[in-house]
Amino acid sequence: MVILNRLSVEDDPHDGSTLLPEAAEAAVTMPAAHKQATQSHSKNFFLSRSENRVISVVLLVACYSAILLPAYFPLHKQSMNDDQYPKDLDLLNRSASLLARPYGSGACWDMPPPLGLRGSKEHLEQALAAVPQPGLPPSLTRSEGRCRRCVVVGSGGVLRGSHLGSHIDQYDVIIRMNNAPVLGYERDAGSHTTIRLMYPEGAPSSANDYNKTNIVALVVFKSLDLDWLTSVITKQPLSFWSKLWFWKEVVDDIPLRPENFRILHPEIIRKTGEVLQKYSQKQGNMVPTLGAGAVVMALQLCDHVSLAGFGYDMQHPHAPLHYYETIQMAAMQAQVVHDVSAEKLFLRELVAAGAVTDLTGAL
């Protein structure tokens, strides 16, 4: 296990964390002193209830199109060797404190999802009314003298046959993404889940995959995702028209109590994207994978961070992409939304700096 000896999180008793605050009109900043972080992290990891009252259907459509339509218009790709990417140790030192810069209450509203919440205030108000507890549970807040260990469990095929399951289950915080299953894969992936980050189309369809789960945290990619969360919590079904906007069928029910749901602060996704831009040839706003965002979130939550199931090996196109299905690695070449090469280089530097430990060795 590697201590975060290169990366630091400066905590401010008046603000922030990787999930939005309970009172959104108050300015949100990252903590300034580690000893004062407990309360601010508990209140600020999830979205507040009072930022509301703006409807923007046009922005919703524009954001939705900007994320999904590029997949139908592949861009010209140039190959790049690892040593051609920038190696910025100053950037690395900032990676664990991506939310350290103060920002006002309007900072979340200057960009559409997933990099902000512009055009989503009314949807947010309704979702937050359904979420009874916006902060972290006591078990996840930092406490003096306690060393908290996180493991982020990726979906990579490298996890298959690793026999890491019993080891993963011993961590204090276990983070998973989207529909990565646990039932039937306990030997390699473990059986417990502290936080599952997901968007509606990625939610597990099997009720069994929510067993031993503490928190489901929504990552907002479009305003409708907030409506979906409200529907899941309140058990009030979405309209037929609303369902047409999802790019695949979404689940109507998640067998968890309302207090088990949260909403990820969009600053985590936006700041992660800014870091990845330094490693990428692509121009414009970078949309990181949930895996990269989960790593940044873990660096805010924990003192020790380990990764399992990370690393895409593009040199072996016929290798399994995920540990739980037969899709091959070559499928990653077809997507243009994320830059997995940039993410791999970023994670490699975290490993090299001793900030995180790569349990499966694919980075």
| DSSP-derived secondary structure for 292-312 | HHHHHHHHHH-SEEEEES---
The closest of 241, 156, 150 to 195, measured between CA atoms, is 150
Q: What is the pLDDT of residue 339?
A: 86
Tell me the two tokens of residue 52: 């509301």
The runs of H, that is alpha helices, within 109-163 are 121-130
In whole angstroms, give the CA distance from residue 356 to residue 354: 6
* Residue count of the chain: 363
325 CB contacts (<8 Å, ≥6 apart)?
A: none
User: Please, what is the end-to-end C-alpha distance for the chain in angstroms?
Assistant: 16
Answer whether 104's CB lies under 8 Å from 51's CB. Answer: no
Confirm if 111 and 118 have CB atoms less than 8 A apart: yes
pLDDT of residue 50: 53
Alpha-carbon gap, residue 143 to 137, rounded angstroms: 12
Q: Please give the structure tokens belonging to residue 140.
A: 């996840």
Q: What is the pLDDT of residue 311?
A: 81
Of the candidates 191, 189, 195, which has an alpha carbon nearest to the alpha carbon of residue 174?
195
Residue type, 72: Y
pTM above 0.75, yes or no: no
The three-point CA angle 160-163-166 to 5° equals 130
Q: Which residues pair with 197 in a beta bridge?
A: 177, 217
Q: Where are the beta strands (DSSP E) in the chain?
A: 149-153, 173-177, 193-198, 213-218, 261-263, 304-308, 356-358
φ/ψ (deg, to 5) at 50: -105, -5
Query: Is-contact 212 192, C-beta < 8 A?
Result: yes
Q: What DSSP assignment string belongs to 44-68?
A: HSB--SS------HHHHHHHHHHHH
Q: Is the dihedral of CA 42, 43, 48, 49 positive or negative?
A: positive
CATH number of 34-67+85-358: 3.90.1480.20
Per-residue pLDDT of the chain (363 residues; tens, 9 = 90+): 333 333 333 334 334 455 554 433 333 333 444 444 444 444 455 555 554 444 444 444 455 454 444 433 433 333 334 343 333 344 334 333 433 344 344 567 889 999 999 999 999 999 999 998 877 787 777 666 678 999 999 998 889 999 999 999 999 999 999 999 999 999 999 999 999 999 999 999 999 999 999 999 999 999 999 999 999 999 999 999 999 999 999 999 999 999 999 999 999 999 999 999 999 887 777 889 999 999 999 998 899 999 999 986 666 677 777 898 877 776 666 566 778 889 999 999 999 999 999 999 988
Strand arrangement, sheet containing 149-153? 261-263, 213-218, 193-198, 173-177, 149-153, 304-308, 356-358
| Per-domain residue ranges of the chain | 34-67+85-358
